[in-house]
Amino acid sequence: MKNILVTLDSNYLKPLKVMLKSLFINNQNEKFEIYLMHSSIREEELEDLNRFVESEGSKLKIVYVDDSYFEDAPTLLHYTKAMYYRLLAFKFLPQELDRILYLDPDILVINPIDNLYNINIDSYLYAAAYHNIISIKRINRIRLNAYDIKEYYNSGVLLMNLKLQRETIDEKEIFDFVKNNRTKLIMPDQDIINSLYSKKIKSLDEKLYNYDARYYNYYRITSNGRCDMDYIINNTVLIHFCGKRKPWKKSYSGKFHSLYKHYEKLALNVKY
């Protein structure tokens, strides 16, 4: 049994189904407990999602977050309190869980996740990948004024050591950081993880566990041709559709467009 964490609102339920369907198809001998942290999804939508997950032999666990919990937490323009969910998930998840894999809904799982899920993170809070593309790295490090940050990790895939997080992470530290850095924070949860916990993150190979779908040619060229389509389809576990252009939108175009739509068809044609 493997634990998956997602945090989202109603707008992302369709992509979530696509992500989950791709997870189930490519991990057929595995059962999952899908923890959904939310504060605003309607009962009918939750029931529909529950039927979808159960029809695949897995379980949906609803973690309802009462917004009053974050009453005194600082806010940022354009962001709801949901920006804290993945950072403080350890407070809301069952105490007996030691480990969970957080996944953004704009991800396709195209190979088995065992090797990722079972990585040794005993002395780390997270395992995550950074996108080693010069422009992304420089912009974010300059923005955060973070001279001691070596890499800027992407928070769309986070393998979490919940046990160590309960012992180590102080929510007050997070709230104080937000108060003191309001103007700098653009992707708040990702910025917070990088600013506060960078040294406690185990690095993952982005080509396997957080492949940025926008940069096919970049990966291919910088790997001397090794990371081509053949390699990706047979080895990459998580393809992440980062950025504003999303594969479920009409105007999308990209190397993994046809593959995304293929999984979308499978997800939305499930009878349950």
Q: Which positions touch its own copies (CB under 8 A)?
A: 110, 228-230, 232-234, 250, 252, 255-259, 261-262, 264-265
**Closest distance of CB 188 from its own copies, Å:** 32
**Closest distance of CB 249 from its own copies, Å:** 10
244, two tokens: 């504003």
**Closest distance of CB 43 from its own copies, Å:** 30
Strands 32-38 and 107-109 come out as unpaired
Angle of CA points 230, 232, 238, to nearest 5°:
160
SS3 129: strand
**Closest distance of CB 112 from its own copies, Å:** 12
Which strands make up the sheet holding 59-64, listed edge to edge?
59-64, 32-38, 2-7, 99-103, 153-161, 126-130, 201-203
| Closer residue to its own copies in complex, CB, 20/110 | 110
What whole-number distance in Å separates Cα of residue 27 and Cα of residue 243? 27
| Closer residue to its own copies in complex, CB, 178/259 | 259
| Closer residue to its own copies in complex, CB, 182/265 | 265
What whole-number distance in Å separates Cα of residue 199 and Cα of residue 220? 29
| Closer residue to its own copies in complex, CB, 78/249 | 249
113, two tokens: 């996740």
| Closer residue to its own copies in complex, CB, 137/261 | 261
**Closest distance of CB 132 from its own copies, Å:** 22
Which residues is 201 bridged to in the sheet? 126
185, two tokens: 């924070």
| Closer residue to its own copies in complex, CB, 156/247 | 247
Q: Spell out the residues 6+ positions from residue 145 whose beta carbon is closer than 8 angstroms to its own.
A: 184
Count helices and strands in the chain by DSSP H and E runs = 12, 10
Question: What phi, psi does 198 have (nearest 5°)?
Answer: -50, -40
**Closest distance of CB 17 from its own copies, Å:** 16
